[in-house]
Amino acid sequence: MGLSQLVLVSPHSFPDPVATARAAGADDILANARVVGSLAEALEGTVFAAALTARRRELAVPMKWARDAAGDIVSRTSFGDVALVFGNETVGLSNEDVSLCHMPVKIPVSAEYSSLNLGAAVQVLCYELRMAALDPGEPPNLESELATFEQVEGFFSHLDRAITASGFFHPSNSKRLWPRLRRLFGRIQLEKDEINILRGMLTAFEKK
Amino acid sequence: MGLSQLVLVSPHSFPDPVATARAAGADDILANARVVGSLAEALEGTVFAAALTARRRELAVPMKWARDAAGDIVSRTSFGDVALVFGNETVGLSNEDVSLCHMPVKIPVSAEYSSLNLGAAVQVLCYELRMAALDPGEPPNLESELATFEQVEGFFSHLDRAITASGFFHPSNSKRLWPRLRRLFGRIQLEKDEINILRGMLTAFEKK
């Protein structure tokens, strides 16, 4: 998601072969992780910290949903390093941990399954930060040339001739048929190459 | 995230103790998974299928980002069951698999690390569906009563008396000090209980 600094507070086992395997293509981030003895040490030098928490707590600062928090968190990065603080898989963060942070953040979950796996929670929050920080632009579709209005109309004229000649298109059903054909092909938003394919097919039918 | 039906296509191992352990509180969904032999069989009875893909492909239908796709996918649920199709961890979906689906979907990722772990990708797409389907309402903050304007002003008067009596508040610095104090306490948006605590402190200082 574009984040590059990982700090581990008193990890159970580090480096650990299971963690390295799961890090897949991002094992450099794990290998460069800074290991510290306390959360306070981890937060040294940061200007803002958001704490992910699943539990309802009596807190000085109101909780925010991940989506609403993301913009605030990103805006703080112009002042310096910002920390996302996650508890461990089993017990999460202590109240003392949360009190060292500026913003408690929660991910909306189903009432029946109230807590996410740690990895899932990290992924969602980092994804929201990426979405808040970067406009992803257009999805990476291969470019294909859309047919122009004239090309589509040329195809419709060709189709008209072909189905009239074939006997499929009787003047009696023309009123019902054309709107349905236009609706069908209009939804597709035909490409130039596709028009050529369709007209090739029509030409083949006409010759037969 | 509120999804309840899981279909596994030719799983390597099922049921599997590692999978059950990772499912944590949602192991009922895993236990009730339907196992089928092909993607086509998995899609039987569905009215719409979205395929998550990391790769750029030559596709009939344009790719959508997860956030933009989520609303479309949710809107299809009014017509029947909708499928989210994910490939396996190693090779993802084949072009044939994607062609059985209506909408290719992609999650924006950093250019250096172009593919997410399967679990991370599933989490993000399901989270986007939850966000599109349900307004999560307000985060679950414990309710506390905010102080009224009069209560805050009462505190400021008390503070004024206390710091004047203490000698801290000289008429010479009053013009600079009050705006800063108002800005400080204004940002906090004090609660009723907090006003009582602060005024209790002031009363204690005054007695001393």
Tens digit of each residue's pLDDT (9 = 90 or more) over B63-105 = 899 999 999 999 888 888 999 999 998 888 998 899 888 899 9
CB-CB neighbors (< 8 A) of B63 in chain A: 139-141
Q: Is B67 on the interface with A (CB under 8 A)?
A: yes
Residue B59 reports pLDDT greater than 70: no
Strand locations in A53-169, DSSP E? 64-65, 81-85, 103-106
- What integer is the mean pLDDT of B168-192? 76
CB-CB neighbors (< 8 A) of B62 in chain A: 139, 141
pTM: 0.74
Q: Tell me how far apart the 2 most distant CA atoms of chain A are, in Å.
A: 84
Residue B13 CA, distance from chain mean position: 32
Higher pLDDT, B84 or A95: B84
Task: Compute the distance between CA of residue A138 and CA of residue A121 in angstroms, rounded to an integer.
Answer: 26
Answer whether B176's CB lies under 8 Å from B133's CB: no
Task: Compute the distance between CA of residue B61 and CA of residue A194 in angstroms, rounded to an integer.
Answer: 13
- What integer is the mean pLDDT of A68-77? 92
Do A56 and B116 count as a contact with CB atoms less than 8 A apart? no
The chain-wide mean pLDDT, for chain A, equals 87
The chain-wide mean pLDDT, for chain B, equals 87
Q: Which two tokens stand for residue A1?
A: 């998601």
**pLDDT cut 70: percent of chain A above it:** 94
B172: distance to nearest CA of chain A, Å?
Answer: 34
Q: pLDDT confidence of B142, banded at 50, 70, 90?
A: low
Give the pLDDT of residue B83: 95
Task: Compute the distance between CA of residue A71 and CA of residue A105 in angstroms, rounded to an integer.
Answer: 12
CB pairs under 8 A between A and B: 87
Q: Residue A38 carries which side chain, given as an amino acid letter?
A: S
In A13-42, the residues whose Cβ lies within 8 Å of chain B are: 22, 24-26
Give the pLDDT of residue B171: 67
**pLDDT cut 90: percent of chain A above it:** 42
CB-nearest to A1 from B2, B56, B110 is B110
Closest-CA residue to A98 (of A68, A55, A66): A55
B25: distance to nearest CA of chain A, Å?
Answer: 6
Residue B143 reports pLDDT greater than 70: no
Residue A56 reports pLDDT greater than 90: no
Tens digit of each residue's pLDDT (9 = 90 or more) over B6-32 = 999 999 999 999 999 888 888 899 999
A131 to chain B: nearest residue by CA? B108
- What integer is the mean pLDDT of B133-148? 78
Burial of residue A96, with CB atoms counted within 10 A of its CB: 0-12 exposed, 13-18 middle, 19 or more buried: exposed
B135: distance to nearest CA of chain A, Å?
Answer: 9
Q: Which two tokens stand for residue A46?
A: 């940061």
Helix (H, G, I), strand (E, B) or coil at A178: helix
Give the pLDDT of residue A143: 66
Residue with tokens 């400080």: B184
CB-CB neighbors (< 8 A) of A110 in chain B: 1-2, 130
- What integer is the mean pLDDT of A169-185? 75
- What integer is the mean pLDDT of A88-99? 89
Residue B60 reports pLDDT greater than 70: no
Q: pLDDT confidence of A60, banded at 50, 70, 90?
A: low
Closest-CA residue to A127 (of B61, B156, B177, B109): B109
Tens digit of each residue's pLDDT (9 = 90 or more) over A116-173 = 899 999 999 999 999 999 887 777 776 677 788 888 889 989 988 888 887 777 766 6
